[in-house]
Structures are given as C-alpha cells and as structure tokens.
C-alpha cells in the first residue's frame, strides 16, 4: 500500500508524462535488491549468481547521455544518408539494436527519431509509422524479463499516444509486432532433446542446427546477448547452399540441360563455374525455409517467457525472436547501449570461463566484453554508441582490446565524463566515458575527444561540450606508445618523440636529492623561520605519482649537505636551482 501511495501522491502529472518514468521506478525498486547483494561483497569467495545478475547490473542511463549517443549514432547515420556520405536506404531498412536494453531508454528515444525520419520521407501515413518502427527498426535484448516487459509497455503506450494525437484508431490488437526479447530461455534436455533428434534424423542440416542451439543457448540467462550462435549458424547455412549449388550444377552438366526450374538462363553457359553459379543463384526461398526450421526447433527446445505473448496478441503464435535478432544477415546500422558492469572477480565461474574463452581481449569486465560484442552486431560502416567505464582507454589489461578497436574501427567522438554520472555507483566505477565509433578500416579523418569531467553543466544537453576544448587526433598516433593508450591530451608532436626508442636523446633522467632522514631534514614551509637555511623542494608523497607538492622545504645548511653527501644522496646537484 505504501508503494501505491508513493506512486499516486508523490509523483506529479508532468513527471508521469515523461517516457523514462517507468524506468526510474523500476530502478528504484531494483536498488533495494542490489544493496542487499553488495552487502556481501567483502565476504570470502563473493560472486554474483545467475539470478542476481539482472538486479546488480541494471543501471538507469541519464536522458542527456541517451540523447547524445542517439544524436551521434542514429541521427548521424540518417544525416549521412541524406547528404550522400553513405549508401541510401529506405527508413524501414535502417536497423538499430540495444543488446542490453534494460527498461528501454535508448529504444524509446530511437522511436522518436525514427518517427521523424518516416514523416520526412513521406512514404507512410502517421497511422502506419508507429507499426513500421516496431516491426522494422528497433530491436532489444536483455536478461531481465521485468525490464523487457516494461520496455514493451513503454513502446505500447508511445504507439497509442502517437496514434491518438494524429487522429488514428488506437485499437492495436492484432497489429503490433515487436522485436524485444528476454534472453531467459531454459533449454529442455532429456526426452525433449531425444524427440527433436528423432523427428529430424534424416535431415543432416537440421540435426546440426539442434546441436548448435543446445551448445550456444546453454546458460543464456547468464550470458545474454554475449552468446554468438550466428558464428556457427551462418557457416552451416553456407554449407547447405553449397550442397544445393553443387547438386544443381552437377545435374545440369550430366543431363546437358540449359535451364533449371526457377533459375532460367542461369545454366545456359555449360562452362559456368561453381562460384559464378552460386553468386547468381537466388537462395531466398531456401534461406527462409531454414530460418523457419530454426525457429520451430528453438520453440520446441525451450521453456521461456516471451514478452510478446503477454503484450501483443498476434505474437502469441510465434516463437521467440532471439534467434532472428542474432541472424540479422546484413548486421545492424546502429548499436547503442549502456552495458552491465561487473569485474571478472565477481563473476559466476561459468560466466567467467565463457568470457575468457570468447572475449579474451575484453575479459576483465562485462562492459569490455560487450564492446567487442557490439562491434560484431554492426554492419560495415555501422555506428556504435556506448557509455562505459573509462579504464579500457588507458590501463594495460585492455591493451589487446584497444588495439582491436584501432585496427577495425574509426573512433568518431569521445566525451570523457568523469565521476557522478550514475548516482547509484560509487568509487572508481563512476569514471565514465561515452563514445561513438564507425566500423570501418578507412581512417580518413581525425577523432574528436572532449573532457568534461570538471564541468558543472554536464546535464545541460545539448550544450554539454560548448566552450570545452576539443582534442583532434589521428587515432593511429595512439599506437606510438606501447600498449596503445588513448592519450588524447598529448599533442602529436609529443607523441612523435616516442617513435625514437632512444628517449635519452631528448631528456636526461636523473635521480635527485635524497635526505635519508626526512623527519629531520624536511619541513612544511610554515614550520621554519630561517629562510637562508631552508630551500624549496619538489617532492611527491606515496600516492602522488606525477604531480609535485610545492609546500615543503629541505634543510640546505652545510651540515645537512655534508650528511646527504656522506650517504650518497646529494645526486644531480648540477640540476639544482
């Protein structure tokens, strides 16, 4: 009752009108469970179990962060298409996915952007557009069923709102098709598996599909969209098409037929090669049949909760779309997400082993593994937008990940956010960065870095980077320094010094003064009275690696200097000043 009272009395009507209000509420109730889990963090052998992963990794993304990422990814793709900077597509062919969608903040914002795209294109009425967006454009995956249900609810309400505002029928029953999936499937082994194998025992390809599904979807509730079934299924599909092509080509040559049913004129040239034939042969029908078989097998193999079964009537007759989302043949034009954060030390042993085996370069944390996975979802020239912890840009344990990013992508924009972005996170984890990158090997422009970690107006989007210094740098320069850290504040002139391995040609490394008795010979400047005896000294404390502290002085009397010399501490004296 207290919860109902809170929702009904403490939240005003204007707040209820905001798309993200449901996500805020869900995060509030999740925070209780999250706090209980992390009270055990200092216990021996602490790790986060399968059932605890959703609550501990759900972090609500601030709307200004969502807006920046969507504007610099989805809006950028559409703008470049309009201006001839990338291949033109119809709006319904532009695909966006959030593989860690949570309560759908990115998808809700993308919905609005796609709506404006459709209106501008003018191909569909405002009564058709909401359905087209859900059917064609936005895709989401998460391991938290409740979060996915809320995303579906928000999009459902949004669709109703657009229809009502434009004077169209708001009865959506039987009309909605969504691409939201909860990766919480439980594979049914034992008798169910044996029945599947027996049913398809004469079909080699389908038997292999069954094997792949049971391999790849094991513990999907723990791994979520990190599983990679397409890496095995796509080659299987290619093998299937190869067999068809070889069989048809061989038959045509044996019987000297000039045509094959459905492939008119393709075999008129008896000298046509296998590769030429396969490249020209239309496999649409066969691929559709394979996908239908794959969906049917998956539906039989799992016990799962399907968001569409509960919100969208027509979807109740369809299998879960998880396989279809992974099998998006041409990839996605835009991938956006705020991935889960979990260090490898807190992972369940199954998840840890899976991450190390499949995402070695990003295995230190879930977020870094998701950087790699999100790249895989992209099509050529697609754009990835993420907000993550900033450690991957600098620390040595992410060297391999950085080198992979630099090799396979063009870094577009990076905004170094610093701390305080996520109120529910404390400590080192709050050092955040948001970025966009283009999946291309054509590094034809400089990358833009902005540091707003010390700015007070970070939430004042779209003005968060106004008046802030921009660092423009060729990303290949990062590879000059060992480990390829994203040292964006170093000028290219300074970076070029690292090209010469003989750094001593540019700088002399010299040990300075050592007193061998700091308690006696070092003072704060306000503690001394004899200015002639004491001299300023640059000295760092144990936790100050680079920045010198200029509030201390050293005893420079004759007796003190003699003591330093006697201990070998009066070194580098020719640099004293």
Give 97's strand partners: 139, 335
Residues 193, 166 within the same domain: no
pLDDT given for residue 53 in this prediction: 54
pLDDT given for residue 435 in this prediction: 97
Q: How confident is the model at residue 56 (pLDDT cuts 50, 70, 90)?
A: low
308 neighbors 180 (Cβ within 8 angstroms): yes
Residue 182: enclosing H or E segment and its boundaries? strand 180-182
Put simply, whether the predicted model's pTM sits higher than 0.75 gets the answer: yes
Q: What angle do CA 544, 418, 437 make, to 5 degrees?
A: 120
179 neighbors 133 (Cβ within 8 angstroms): no
Distance CA 184, CA 188 (A): 13
Identify the domain containing residue 240 by its residue range.
187-303
Cβ partners under 8 Å of residue 464, min gap 6:
64, 68, 415, 452, 455, 457, 458
Please give the average per-residue pLDDT across 314-329, as a whole number. 62
| Domain termination residue (choose one: 404, 431, 449) | 404
| Domain termination residue (choose one: 375, 404, 433) | 404
Residues 53, 84 within the same domain: yes
Least confident among 80-94, 235-249, 418-432? 418-432
Assigned domain for 565 exists: yes
pLDDT given for residue 183 in this prediction: 82
Distance CA 308, CA 172 (A): 13
Whose tokens are 């609005």? That residue is 112
Greater confidence (334 vs 261) lies with: 334
Backbone angles phi and psi of 355, in degrees to 5: -65, -45
Residues 151, 218 within the same domain: no
Residues 96, 204 within the same domain: no
pLDDT given for residue 374 in this prediction: 97
Cis peptide before 462 (omega within 30 of 0): yes
Distance of CA 159 to the CA centre of its chain: 27
Distance CA 246, CA 250 (A): 6
Assigned domain for 103 exists: yes
Residues 17, 166 within the same domain: yes
Residues 275-314: b if buried by 16+ CB within 10 A, e if exposed: eebbeebebeeeeeebbeebbebbebbbebebbbeebbee
Residues 197, 177 within the same domain: no
Assigned domain for 135 exists: yes
Residues 348, 399 within the same domain: yes
Distance CA 521, CA 537 (A): 11
Q: How confident is the model at residue 218 (pLDDT cuts 50, 70, 90)?
A: confident
Assigned domain for 346 exists: yes
Say which CATH number the domain at 129 has: 3.40.50
Assigned domain for 446 exists: no
Residue 522: enclosing H or E segment and its boundaries? strand 522-524
> In this predicted model, what pLDDT tens digit does every residue of 423-438 receive, in sequence order?
665 544 568 999 999 9
Assigned domain for 400 exists: yes
Residues 105, 206 within the same domain: no
Cβ partners under 8 Å of residue 52, min gap 6:
33, 37
| Domain termination residue (choose one: 388, 404, 420) | 404
**Count of domains in the chain?**
3
Q: How confident is the model at residue 535 (pLDDT cuts 50, 70, 90)?
A: confident
DSSP character at residue 136: I
Residues 146, 207 within the same domain: no
pLDDT given for residue 135 in this prediction: 93
Residues 290, 361 within the same domain: no
> In this predicted model, what pLDDT tens digit does every residue of 181-199 receive, in sequence order?
888 777 766 677 788 888 8
Residues 15, 91 within the same domain: yes
Residues 10, 101 within the same domain: yes
């Amino acid at each position: 009752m207290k919860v109902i009272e809170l929702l009904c009395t403490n939240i005003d009507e204007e707040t209820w009108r905001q798309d993200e209000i449901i996500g805020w509420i869900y995060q509030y109730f999740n925070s209780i469970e999250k706090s209980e889990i992390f009270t055990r963090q200092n216990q021996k052998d602490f790790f986060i179990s399968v059932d605890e992963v959703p609550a501990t990794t759900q972090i609500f993304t601030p709307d200004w962060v969502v807006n920046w990422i969507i504007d610099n990814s989805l809006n950028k793709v559409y703008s470049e298409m309009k201006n001839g900077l990338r291949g033109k597509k119809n709006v319904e062919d532009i695909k966006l996915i959030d593989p860690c969608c949570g309560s759908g903040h990115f998808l809700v914002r993308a919905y609005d952007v796609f709506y404006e795209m459709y209106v501008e294109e003018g191909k569909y009425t405002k009564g058709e557009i909401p359905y087209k967006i859900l059917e064609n454009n936005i895709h989401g995956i998460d391991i938290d069923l409740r979060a996915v249900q809320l995303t579906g609810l928000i999009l459902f309400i949004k669709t109703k709102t657009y229809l009502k505002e434009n004077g169209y029928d708001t009865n959506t029953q039987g009309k909605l098709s969504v691409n939201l999936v909860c990766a919480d499937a439980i594979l049914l082994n034992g008798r169910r598996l044996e029945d599947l194998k027996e049913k398809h025992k004469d079909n080699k390809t389908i038997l292999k599909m069954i094997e792949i599904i049971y391999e790849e979807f094991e513990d999907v509730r723990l791994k979520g969209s990190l599983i990679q079934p397409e890496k095995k299924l796509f080659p299987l599909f290619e093998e299937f098409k190869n067999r068809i092509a070889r069989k048809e080509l061989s038959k045509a040559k044996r019987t000297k037929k000039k045509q094959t049913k459905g492939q008119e004129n393709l075999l008129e040239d008896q000298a046509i090669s296998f590769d030429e034939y396969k490249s020209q042969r239309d496999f649409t029908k066969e691929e559709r049949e394979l996908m239908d078989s794959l969906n049917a097998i998956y539906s039989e193999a799992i016990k799962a909760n399907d968001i569409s079964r509960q919100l969208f009537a027509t979807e109740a007759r369809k299998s879960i779309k998880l396989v279809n989302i992974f099998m998006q043949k041409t990839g996605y034009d835009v991938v956006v997400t705020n991935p889960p954060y979990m260090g490898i030390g807190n992972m369940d042993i199954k998840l840890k082993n899976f991450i190390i085996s499949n995402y070695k370069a990003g295995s230190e944390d879930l977020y870094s593994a998701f950087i790699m996975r999100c790249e895989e979802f992209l099509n050529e020239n697609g754009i990835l937008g993420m907000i993550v912890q900033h450690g991957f840009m600098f620390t040595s344990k992410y060297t391999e990940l950085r080198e992979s990013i630099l090799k396979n992508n063009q870094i577009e924009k990076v905004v170094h956010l610093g701390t305080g972005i996520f109120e529910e996170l404390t400590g080192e984890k709050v050092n955040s960065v948001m970025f966009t990158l283009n999946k291309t090997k054509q590094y034809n422009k400089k990358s833009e870095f902005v540091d707003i970690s010390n700015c007070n107006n970070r939430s004042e989007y779209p003005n968060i980077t106004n008046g802030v210094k921009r660092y423009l740098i060729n990303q290949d320069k990062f590879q000059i320094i060992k480990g390829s850290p994203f040292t964006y504040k170093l000028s290219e002139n300074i970076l070029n010094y690292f090209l010469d391995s003989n750094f001593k040609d540019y700088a002399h490394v010299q040990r300075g003064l050592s007193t061998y008795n700091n308690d006696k010979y070092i003072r704060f400047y306000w503690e001394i009275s004899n200015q002639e005896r004491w001299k300023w000294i640059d000295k760092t404390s144990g936790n100050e690696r680079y920045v010198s502290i200029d509030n201390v002085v050293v005893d420079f009397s004759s007796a003190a200097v003699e003591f330093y010399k006697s201990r070998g501490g009066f070194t580098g004296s020719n640099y004293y000043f």
